């Protein structure tokens, strides 16, 4: 048997550069035991699979992933008894953006091979994380911790996935229970785990072992110096991160199809990548790029991370200000709300306003010859008892004359709405929002409509998706603030409703919507969260 012919202290024949006993020796014993049970045909198939696997590895090492995929696929076709070809095939598929295929290959291999495959389970955990299946990913890596690792690569891979879940103590237990606790790459993970758990002595001992050629060497040296000086790295959570930004494979995952990319932006994996990037490179250029990712992310941890940045001491004043703006865009901070965060070394209160109001702002160019007719329709809609059918007819005549002037469509939809054509009006509001997201009038009107039809969840989603434009007309801004006031009240956020309305009132105290709402809120006591209107509302609600 090959295992008996190789000195365990000599380099492993797989080409890893590790000693045989730290690499493939245990796996060789398992494989040899398996081979002893096989028929001649099955044995020949397995040996062919191993030959193809070796060719695939050479391609993979050279970055020739598409060619490696061909060899690993053929290796699997020859024999599925050993999980290694599937592990590598799944990794190559993952690297080339074929995430769903990677999951399928890995799952099937875990079913087919009789040998324990902790590396494969850790692989699966990683893929599921990237798909947003955090529960499935946690289950997969937990299953991996219960298996005996055949080599140091498996231990490192399992530790890497445990690190993604910040399971520091489990990293130590997995490493110490294996035969590879002294492997230099394993020691990096145990060193960082020990640092996170406050075991300074072990952290220094293990981090010192990180090899010179490792991508982790720079991080290990930095951490070792912090431990020596009894200081901490400047990170968002004041912790000791394990992973570099490139270990989140965002550039690879962005090669996937549109569905994969959309799923990626809704999962925690992107948020963790942003955190790793900021921890490593908090300079302005990197900050601007990754903050856009947090803004786009729909995962709850995106807002949680932004709050940590805003309320902490990490990074510059600019990054905290940007975090505040993004939180406002996500609806976590309301317009006009006072938010305290570190600025120029002091905790300072800031009123959250970032939109420029321009009375001369135009949403589109109105042809001069249509100005008179448009003005007449606007005034007609403001009468005490508007003739809505007549107004609808007027807009039907105007719209074909200037199809690019989308305010016509909005006012036409408003007329439809007040004529009880709610579904048609809603459809137009939604199309305007999709085509012109910066146009706040239809957004505000739709928000009020959703609340009036008891669709609070849809209203929340609309607010969450709204990005406030850098510049707009004061009337549009006030219309949105009025809608937000109604939304905040419906959502039980009375203080936010009051602050939003006060902001609208400062801009347009005579606006009919503002005047109407102010009658309810003028005597609101923010500390006691009460007013005459709210007391009556609560009393009626109890009946």
- Could you tell me where the beta strands, DSSP code E, fall in 217-324? none
- For residue 17, CA distances in Å to 1, 12, 220 come to 21, 6, 21
DSSP-derived secondary structure letter, 179: S
Residues 220 and 290 in one domain: no
Last residue of a domain, one of 304, 329, 354: 354
- Tokens at residue 127, please? 């893929």
Contact 488, 336 (CB under 8 A): no
Confidence at residue 261, expressed as pLDDT on a 0 to 100 scale: 74
Residues 253 and 222 in one domain: no
In 3D space, the residue among 312, 165, 173, 313 whose CA is nearest the CA of residue 243 turns out to be 165
- Tokens at residue 60, please? 């993979």
CA 332 from chain centre, in angstroms, equals 16
In 3D space, the residue among 164, 86, 179, 99 whose CA is nearest the CA of residue 131 turns out to be 99
**CA–CA gap between residue 500 and residue 482 (Å, rounded):** 8
Residue 238 lies in a domain: no
Last residue of a domain, one of 172, 199, 226: 226
Residues 407 and 346 in one domain: no
Residues 11 and 84 in one domain: yes
In 3D space, the residue among 222, 219, 273 whose CA is nearest the CA of residue 246 turns out to be 273
DSSP-derived secondary structure letter, 244: -
Residues 346 and 388 in one domain: no
DSSP-derived secondary structure letter, 356: E
Residues 389 and 535 in one domain: yes
- For residue 96, CA distances in Å to 22, 30, 182 come to 29, 31, 33
Confidence at residue 284, expressed as pLDDT on a 0 to 100 scale: 56
Residues 179 and 273 in one domain: no
Evaluate the CA torsion angle 230, 234, 237, 240 in order and state its sign. negative
Residues 11 and 146 in one domain: yes
Residue 234 lies in a domain: no
Confidence at residue 42, expressed as pLDDT on a 0 to 100 scale: 64
Alpha helix stretches (DSSP H) within 131-229: 134-145, 152-164, 168-177, 184-196, 200-207, 217-229
Number of domain units in the chain:
3
Last residue of a domain, one of 354, 388, 409: 354
Q: What is the pLDDT along the chain (543 residues), one digit of tens a residue?
A: 334 444 445 444 444 445 445 445 455 555 565 555 656 676 666 788 889 999 999 999 999 999 999 999 999 998 888 889 999 999 999 999 899 999 999 999 999 988 899 999 999 999 999 999 999 999 999 999 999 999 999 999 999 999 999 999 999 999 999 999 999 999 999 999 999 999 999 999 999 999 998 999 999 999 999 999 999 999 999 999 999 999 999 988 887 677 777 778 889 999 999 999 999 987 656 677 888 899 889 899 999 999 999 999 998 877 888 899 899 888 898 877 889 998 768 898 877 766 888 998 999 999 999 999 999 999 999 998 999 999 999 999 999 999 999 999 999 999 999 999 999 999 999 999 999 999 999 999 999 999 999 999 999 999 989 888 889 999 999 999 999 999 999 998 887 888 789 889 989 999 999 999 999 998 888 667 888 888 888 777 654
What DSSP string runs through 22-73? GTTHHHHHHHHHHHTTS-HHHHHHHHHHHHHHHHHHHHHHTT-HHHHHHHHH
DSSP 3-state of 511: coil
Confidence at residue 71, expressed as pLDDT on a 0 to 100 scale: 95
Contact 214, 186 (CB under 8 A): no
Residue 472 lies in a domain: yes
Residue 312 lies in a domain: yes
- Tokens at residue 144, please? 């991996």
Confidence at residue 406, expressed as pLDDT on a 0 to 100 scale: 94
Residues 277 and 315 in one domain: yes
Contact 117, 153 (CB under 8 A): no
- Tell me which residue range forms the domain holding 27: 2-226
Residue 233 lies in a domain: no
Residue 415 lies in a domain: yes
**CA–CA gap between residue 53 and residue 91 (Å, rounded):** 13
pTM: 0.63
In 3D space, the residue among 220, 319, 335, 324 whose CA is nearest the CA of residue 278 turns out to be 319
Residues 62 and 179 in one domain: yes
Residue 491 lies in a domain: yes
Residue 359 lies in a domain: no
The CATH number for 203's domain is 1.25.40.10
Confidence at residue 350, expressed as pLDDT on a 0 to 100 scale: 79
Contact 110, 121 (CB under 8 A): yes
Q: How far apart are the first and last CA of the chain?
A: 85
**CA–CA gap between residue 225 and residue 86 (Å, rounded):** 40
Q: In the beta sheet, which residues pair with residue 340? A: 349
Count CB atoms within 10 A of the CB of residue 11: 14
**CA–CA gap between residue 386 and residue 377 (Å, rounded):** 10
Residues 202 and 314 in one domain: no
Residues 337 and 380 in one domain: no
Q: In the beta sheet, which residues pair with residue 305? A: none
Confidence at residue 262, expressed as pLDDT on a 0 to 100 scale: 76
> CB-hemisphere CA count at 13 Å for 302?
25
- Tokens at residue 227, please? 């431990």
In 3D space, the residue among 199, 189, 192, 134 whose CA is nearest the CA of residue 157 turns out to be 189
């Amino acid at each position: 048997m090959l295992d008996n012919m190789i000195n365990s202290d000599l380099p492993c024949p797989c080409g890893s550069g590790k000693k045989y006993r730290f690499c493939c020796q245990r796996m060789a014993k398992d494989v040899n035991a398996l081979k002893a049970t096989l028929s001649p045909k099955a044995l020949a198939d397995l040996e062919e699979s191993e030959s193809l696997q070796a060719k695939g590895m050479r391609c993979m090492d050279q970055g020739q992933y598409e060619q490696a995929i061909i060899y690993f696929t053929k290796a699997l076709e020859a024999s599925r008894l050993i999980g290694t070809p599937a592990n590598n095939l799944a990794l190559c598929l993952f690297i080339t953006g074929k995430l769903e295929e990677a999951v399928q290959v890995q799952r099937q291999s875990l079913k087919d091979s009789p040998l324990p495959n902790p590396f494969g389970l850790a692989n699966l955990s990683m893929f599921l994380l990237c798909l947003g299946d955090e529960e499935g990913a946690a289950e997969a890596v937990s299953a991996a911790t219960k298996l005996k690792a055949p080599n140091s690569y498996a231990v490192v891979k399992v530790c890497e996935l445990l690190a993604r879940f910040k399971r520091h103590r489990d990293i130590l237990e997995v490493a110490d229970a294996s035969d590879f606790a002294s492997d230099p790459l394993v020691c990096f993970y145990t060193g960082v785990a020990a640092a996170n758990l406050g075991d300074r002595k072990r952290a220094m001992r293990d981090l010192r072992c990180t090899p010179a050629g490792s991508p982790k060497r720079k991080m290990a040296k930095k951490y070792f110096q912090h431990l020596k000086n009894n200081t901490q790295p400047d990170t968002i959570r004041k912790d000791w991160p394990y992973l570099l930004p490139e270990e989140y494979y965002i550039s690879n995952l962005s090669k996937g199809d549109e569905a994969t990319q959309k799923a990626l932006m809704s999962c925690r994996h992107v948020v963790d990548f942003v955190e790793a990037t900021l921890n490593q490179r908090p300079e302005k250029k990197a900050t601007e790029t990754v903050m856009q990712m947090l803004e786009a992310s729909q995962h709850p941890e995106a807002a949680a991370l932004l709050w940590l940045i805003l309320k902490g001491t990490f990074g510059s004043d600019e990054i905290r200000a940007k975090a505040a703006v993004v939180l406002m865009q996500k609806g976590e901070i309301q317009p006009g709300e006072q938010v305290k965060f570190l600025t120029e070394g002091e905790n300072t209160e800031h009123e959250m306003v970032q939109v420029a109001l321009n009375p001369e702002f135009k949403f589109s160019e109105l042809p001069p010859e249509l100005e008179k007719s448009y003005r007449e329709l606007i005034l007609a809609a403001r009468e005490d008892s508007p003739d809505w059918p007549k107004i609808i007819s007027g807009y039907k005549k105007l719209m074909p004359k200037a199809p690019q002037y989308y305010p016509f469509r909005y006012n036409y939809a408003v007329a439809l709405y007040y004529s009880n054509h709610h579904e048609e009006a809603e459809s137009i509001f939604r199309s305007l929002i999709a085509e012109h997201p910066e146009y706040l009038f239809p957004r505000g009107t739709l928000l009020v409509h959703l609340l009036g039809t008891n669709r609070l969840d849809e209203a929340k989603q609309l607010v969450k998706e709204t990005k406030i434009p850098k510049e707009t007309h004061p009337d549009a801004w006030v219309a949105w603030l009025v809608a937000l006031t109604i939304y905040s009240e419906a959502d039980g956020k009375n203080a936010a409703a009051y602050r939003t309305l006060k902001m609208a009132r400062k801009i347009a105290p005579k606006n009919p919507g503002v005047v109407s709402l102010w009658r309810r809120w003028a005597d609101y006591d923010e500390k006691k969260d009460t007013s005459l209107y709210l007391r009556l509302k609560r009393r009626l609600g109890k009946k």
